[in-house]
């Protein structure tokens, strides 16, 4: 299921899915490099980054993060991309109801074709744009709850909840029995 594990150190493949423009690449760059570049252009080619975090129980989790380079536009390619992923992060933009609809489409795809023990997170990004909000927090909570997902709102711009997102995912990973 994408995890290469011993009891103390986990290594997991994580994929991001969601409409183009919701902030997937910015979330990754914020988490891995602590940066936000509002002028950064769409990644050309596949992008792969990794980041290790330590949990309080002294286990470590190394995320191998696959960021799409616009393949999100080609639904048919997606199964190749999320194959073997232990974690799927489905992202929408809280100012865009269309992106919330698209997120729901991806969740259904993952339920049909992803591995059954995949940890799934639903992320409402651009939470700094409160004045333009069009998807309520409750909408996100309700959808995530119905689908057994973890839910959080983030801002890659302000860094709000970015580390928390990955920490919460890490806590939810299935542990190998020692």
- Separation CA 37–CA 77 (nearest Å): 28
* Residue 155 engages Mg ion in binding (rule: CB under 5 A): no
Alpha-carbon 71 to chain mean position? 15
Among 3, 25, 95, 161, the residue binding Mg ion under the rule CB under 5 A is 25
Give the residue ranges of DSSP H helices in 20-120: 24-33, 78-82, 97-113
Distance of closest approach, residue 43 Cβ to ligand GDP, in angstroms: 7
- What CA–CA distance (Å, rounded) separates 125 from 155? 5
20 vs 104 by CB, closer to Mg ion:
20
Return residues touching ligand GDP (CB under 6 A).
20-26, 38, 42, 125-126, 128-129, 155-157
Smaller CB separation from ligand GDP, 22 or 144: 22
Residue 7: CB minimum distance to ligand GDP, A: 35
Does 99 help bind Mg ion (rule: CB under 5 A)?
A: no
Angle between helices 24-33 and 162-172 (to 10 degrees): 90
Interface contacts to Mg ion, rule CB under 5 A: 24-25
């Amino acid at each position: 299921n994408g995890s290469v594990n011993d009891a103390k150190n986990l290594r997991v493949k994580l994929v991001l899915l969601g409409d183009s423009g919701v902030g997937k690449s910015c979330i990754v760059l914020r988490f891995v490099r602590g940066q936000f570049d509002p002028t950064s252009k769409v990644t050309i080619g596949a992008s792969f980054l990794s980041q290790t975090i330590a949990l309080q129980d002294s286990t470590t989790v190394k995320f191998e993060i696959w960021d799409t380079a616009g393949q999100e536009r080609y639904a048919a390619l997606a199964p190749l991309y999320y194959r073997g992923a232990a974690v799927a992060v489905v992202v929408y933009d809280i100012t865009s109801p269309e992106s919330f609809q698209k997120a729901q489409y991806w969740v259904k795809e993952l339920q049909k074709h992803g591995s059954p023990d995949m940890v799934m997170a639903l992320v409402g990004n651009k939470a700094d744009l409160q004045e333009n909000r069009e998807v309520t927090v409750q909408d996100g909570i309700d959808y995530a709850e119905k689908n057994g997902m973890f839910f959080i709102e983030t801002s890659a711009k302000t860094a709000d909840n970015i580390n928390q997102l990955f920490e919460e995912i890490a806590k939810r990973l299935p542990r190998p029995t020692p």
